[in-house]
Amino acid sequence: MTTTYCSKSWTDINIDFESRTLRHCCKAQGHSFPEQLTEQFISLGDVVKERRQQSLNNVAHSDCNSCWNDYSKGNSAYRDWANRWDDVFIKNHKTILNDDDKFIHYIEIKPDSTCDLACIYCSASSSSKIAQEEGVVIEDATNEDDYTIFKSWLKNYILRKDIIAEQIVIIFLGGEPTASERFYDLVDYIEDIAKLTDKKIRLEICTNANSKKFLMDKVITRMDTSKLAWGIGVSNEAFGEDAEGIRHGLDWQRFGENFKRYIQHPKTELIVLSPTINIFNLKSFHLYITWVYEQFRLYAPEKEFTWYGNFISWPDEMDISHLPKEYIKYIELAEQAILKEAINSKHMYKENFVTFIDTMKQRLAAAYNPSYKQVAQEFLERKQVVKKTDKLIKLMDNLDL
């Protein structure tokens, strides 16, 4: 790593109303709202201005320790594929980058942690189901004034004439965002703002696609009446029983039915497949990839989609960096599946997924632990106690070479 800048410092807003924290990049350190949230804090706060300036001076800001720590272990990092800028861009724009927020175009909103899944790599702060399992009381610091200020900032920002973006993407996170009533209120508000501008705006949800029919019908009905384009980010990384184990509470059949409804919907502009690579999904990842392409081929052959992957770095037990190098054969199976299935598909930005596969190879075995199987088994046994099941241990089959 010879530079420390990353486009995320300029392009992203990640706002969590339940914990009253703000990030510029989902992987960055979160910062607490001031007692009274201000529009200045959201996009031009002192912390992010300092981070932008330091990164231009090649200083590794502490906000980004998630990536710096990965690099220090010899791993690939989120920045490797998330950063969209290069040295030429920085050189041509450096004079306006210090105190400027007009590059923002990716706005992530987490209303709350309401969720129907208890994924084995998730935490109580991001899933109400896990909080219930673990008996953890999550303080809900939601403040109505925060929503008022944010709505004002959002409207003022969208209506500005100097924004540098072909499209503004507003993505809802969770928990499961479609289970939050705040989601529907904010969608209505954004729809009203959109009537005042000719800017291209896309609403996006990061969903586990596990919603029961009544909730799925509610989401689809809202999409039916929307005037905007939608993006559907599908958070999953494994196939069949493996997916049900990793994403505890998932019903694979229901997931498949919901997936088909999302990709077929006429308002869906783009589908983003968001796998989170870990030791238990590596073996069946190629099966999931093949399944995804098959769904598009059968049900939505003209619909555009892309892949935007990530890695488990916490809990540490699930990080593929601890696996031996021999597991590269499963990454190669995934790579072969992509090369084969991407032909004659609407897979967009293929080069990004190729880069991600390369970073998987780089991360694999970077911190090899000879006891990885024992560590993994003990991890699953602890999870089984909390989740009151004896089925998770079956995931150990994925660690048989």
Confidence of residue 352 (pLDDT cuts 50, 70, 90): confident
Q: Give how far the C-alpha of residue 82 lies from the chain's centroid of Cα atoms, to the nearest Å.
A: 11
- Across the chain, mean pLDDT equals 94
Whether residue 191 contacts residue 214, with contact meaning beta carbons closer than 8 Å, is answered with no
Of the candidates 103, 12, 87, 102, the one whose C-alpha atom is nearest the C-alpha of residue 55 is 87
List the domains of the chain with CATH numbers. Answer: 1-104 (no CATH), 105-399 (3.20.20)
Confidence of residue 129 (pLDDT cuts 50, 70, 90): very high
Of the candidates 61, 89, 67, the one whose C-alpha atom is nearest the C-alpha of residue 80 is 67
What is the model's pLDDT at position 392?
Answer: 97
What is the model's pLDDT at position 77?
Answer: 85
What is the C-alpha separation between 6 and 170, in angstroms, rounded? 20
DSSP H or E run through 333: helix 328-341
Vertex 255, ends 249 and 260: CA angle to 5°? Answer: 170
- The larger pLDDT score, comparing residue 257 to residue 94, is at 257
What is the C-alpha separation between 187 and 85, in angstroms, rounded? 30
Specify the 3-state DSSP secondary structure of 246: helix
% pLDDT > 90, the chain? 83
DSSP-H helix ranges across 164-284 = 181-194, 213-225, 241-246, 252-264
Specify the 3-state DSSP secondary structure of 122: coil
Residues 185, 175, 233, 363, CA torsion sign: positive
Of the candidates 330, 268, 333, the one whose C-alpha atom is nearest the C-alpha of residue 295 is 268
Q: Give how far the C-alpha of residue 148 lies from the chain's centroid of Cα atoms, to the nearest Å.
A: 26
Mean pLDDT of 204-212: 96
85 Cβ neighbours under 8 A, 6+ residues apart = 5, 6, 7
Q: Give how far the C-alpha of residue 199 lies from the chain's centroid of Cα atoms, to the nearest Å.
A: 24
Q: Give how far the C-alpha of residue 117 lies from the chain's centroid of Cα atoms, to the nearest Å.
A: 16
Give bridge partners of residue 306 from the DSSP assignment: 272
CA distances from 41 to 131, 190, 377 (A): 30, 21, 44
Inform me whether the pLDDT recorded for 117 exceeds 70.
yes
Inform me whether the pLDDT recorded for 1 exceeds 70.
no
Inform me whether the pLDDT recorded for 61 exceeds 70.
yes
Mean pLDDT of 286-305: 96
What is the model's pLDDT at position 307?
Answer: 94
Question: pLDDT digit string (tens) for 360-397?
Answer: 999 999 999 999 999 999 999 999 999 999 999 999 99
* Phi, psi for 302 (deg, rounded to 5): -100, 5
The type of residue at 68 is W
Mean pLDDT of 99-104: 87
Give bridge partners of residue 172 from the DSSP assignment: 109, 205
What is the model's pLDDT at position 148?
Answer: 97
Over the Cα atoms of the chain, what is R_g?
A: 21
The type of residue at 166 is E
Specify the 3-state DSSP secondary structure of 97: helix
According to DSSP, the β-strands at 229-234 and 106-110 are unpaired
Give bridge partners of residue 109 from the DSSP assignment: 15, 172
Structure tokens at 213: 């029919």
Lowest-confidence segment of 52-61, 228-237, 244-253 by average pLDDT:
52-61
Inform me whether the pLDDT recorded for 165 exceeds 90.
no
370 Cβ neighbours under 8 A, 6+ residues apart = none
What is the C-alpha separation between 298 and 305, in angstroms, rounded? 14
Structure tokens at 394: 């079956």
Structure tokens at 270: 């783009």
- The larger pLDDT score, comparing residue 320 to residue 308, is at 320
Question: pLDDT digit string (tens) for 141-150?
Answer: 999 999 999 9
Structure tokens at 9: 């410092």
Residues 238, 240, 243, 245, CA torsion sign: negative
